[in-house]
Chain A
Amino acid sequence: MSIDLALALSSAKPAGKRPYFMDPPVERVLNILMATVQELAVTRERLDTVERLLEMKGVIARSAIETFEPTADQAAERGLWMQEYLNRVLRTVQQEAEALQATDDLASEEVAAEVSQA
């Protein structure tokens, strides 16, 4: 099946050692980030297509999107979504802060030794 080929091989490494220009872990994150940036652009173009098709078919006017003002309830719903979103994206920063504030954090490996004592 071609789709299996695509899943297995589309991201294949070319023959030849890869150069790294930064610390490899940093460049790894950059590479993942740029792929994500690309997919955001893809989604933005798709949304633009949807808006233009809806306008062509008389469903919405794109200018109405620009001037849209949410009601108080809608604004609250959006505000909550934004808070949830930031919590999710910045999970690692919250956990770093909690770790700073913790006083008796143990590593599981330490507890493993403790709970394994006869």
Chain B
Amino acid sequence: MDGSQALKNAGLAQSYTGPPDYRVVGRHGVFPETSHDENARFNFLAHMNRHLSTRVMPAVTTAWERRAGPAFEAHEGRPPKDRHEVRKALLQDPYYQAWSALRRATMEQRQQAGRWIALRQAETLAAKVEALTMSGDQLELDPALPIPRYVSAVDHHCMPGSYHTEVFPGDVSGAANYDCGIFATTGGALGRFSDGGGHAVVGWIQKQMPDFRPHHILDIGANLGQNVLPIAQAFPEAEVIALDVGAPMLRYGAARARSLKVDNVRFVQGDGSNLSRWPDSHFDWVQTTMTLHELSLASMKAIFREIYRVLAPGGIMLHVEQPQYRSDMPLFEQAMRDWDAFYNNEPFWSTMHELDIDGFMIEAGFDSANLIHGGVTAVVDRDVFPDTADDESEDFGRKAAWHVIGASK
């Protein structure tokens, strides 16, 4: 054997740029078991998402430029005046219809695949979570907490039951579904433990504020804690609170953190618009990661006010989000980025991205001289995963390249 076969194979792996095999996903103590075919189903979905964004979606631009856009102008005698007119014109175009129908179908298939995995072992998962959280004080639930309308009205990203419902007392299948499927939805772009956003924030902080030593950190809308664990690990002396309204996510998150041996995070059920249990100036750092777009305007303003109150002087507030729709962003791009708002149940997404976030931070009390603007991409293990920083393609609203907005007090 001359080794040419081995060289050929090595070359294939080295030149391959697609999503990694699902089997490299990070598994912790409450991660659901997946069979061969369940892994294969997620492989299909990761590739389907990539195919849609790199092979199908680019010609939506062509359809707009050559067909839907000219048709709008011919009919109306003027160019569209906002992104909603662009989107409604696109809805008439057969190619946009085909891309949208396929994208929606893929989203629903991803939910179905993950829910099958999580539900078929729901009782086992609940028992594992119970065993990992019955002792210690890493979990604090409040069954009387009202679930905000912005969470309960429609199920975000078509995830049946959203973050807050359970099929039986102690059920965590919704959280397990979220956890196991996000790797497929993002094609591994968030890394093995889908925590590339958290690592990105840590990297950004360490570069921008090398002397920052926070003692109290609050993560609002922490979900299952995937993005706050890297923060807790980077600052092991800090006491970290992961706050969310969804009890199943918190139970699962606390068990996940324990199995990953991160013990300085407490998962607390609560609403970020009411942080009255914490005194003024308590936290050095308040973080949200891909949370703002799932709120409402009223709650976002209330959350900013509460953050300002609980932040210590010199403390920082950071939000990681997809980029805002600025006036220099073409209306077509804005319309494409709005897809998830209207067709993937992200109802605040569209409004949130046109708002003057700076203005709301100032209104909440922050000084305009202390505002923070930056950009980050997911930080992942580059041996295994595609690095978003190297990716020049665009997946309007889905790419793991974010803006950091915030302020220091």
Q: Is residue A87 within 8 Å, beta carbon to beta carbon, of the partner chain?
A: no
A residues less than 8 Å from B333 (CB atoms): none
Interface residues on A, range: 20 to 34
Q: Which of A9-52 contact B (CB under 8 A)?
A: 9-16, 18-22, 27, 30-31, 34-35, 38, 41-42, 45-46, 49
Q: Are the C-beta atoms of B122 and A19 separated by less than 8 Å?
A: no
A residues less than 8 Å from B122 (CB atoms): 2, 5-6
Beyond A2-B124, A34-B105, whether A16 also contacts B154 by CB under 8 A is: yes
Q: Is residue A3 within 8 Å, beta carbon to beta carbon, of the partner chain?
A: yes
Compute how far the CA of A34 lies from the CA of B155 in the bound complex, rounded to whole angstroms: 23
Interface of A is mostly: helix
Q: Is residue B120 within 8 Å, beta carbon to beta carbon, of the partner chain?
A: yes
Q: Are the C-beta atoms of A21 and B116 separated by less than 8 Å?
A: no
Q: Are the C-beta atoms of B91 and A38 separated by less than 8 Å?
A: no
A residues less than 8 Å from B124 (CB atoms): 2
Cβ-closest chain A residue relative to B171: A5
Number of A-B contacts defined by CB within 8 Å: 104
B137-165 interface code vs A (CB 8 A; 1 in, 0 out): 00000000000000011110011111000
Count the B residues whose beta carbon is within 8 Å of the partner chain — how many? 45
B residues less than 8 Å from A9 (CB atoms): 115, 119, 160, 167
Cβ-closest chain A residue relative to B100: A21
B residues less than 8 Å from A16 (CB atoms): 153-155, 158, 345
Which of A12, A15, A31, A46 meets B37, CB within 8 Å? A46
Q: Are the C-beta atoms of B36 and A49 separated by less than 8 Å?
A: yes
Q: Are the C-beta atoms of B37 and A14 separated by less than 8 Å?
A: no
Beyond A3-B120, A30-B101, whether A10 also contacts B345 by CB under 8 A is: no
B31-52 interface code vs A (CB 8 A; 1 in, 0 out): 0000011001101110110000
Beyond A2-B122, A5-B119, A41-B40, whether A12 also contacts B101 by CB under 8 A is: no
Interface on B for A, CB 8 Å cutoff? Answer: 36-37, 40-41, 43-45, 47-48, 91, 96-98, 100-102, 104-106, 108-109, 111-112, 115-116, 119-124, 152-155, 158-162, 167, 173, 342-343, 345
20 A-B pairs with C-beta separation under 8 A: A1-B123, A2-B119, A2-B122, A2-B123, A2-B124, A5-B122, A6-B120, A9-B167, A10-B119, A10-B120, A12-B115, A12-B160, A14-B162, A14-B345, A27-B101, A30-B101, A30-B105, A34-B106, A42-B41, A45-B43
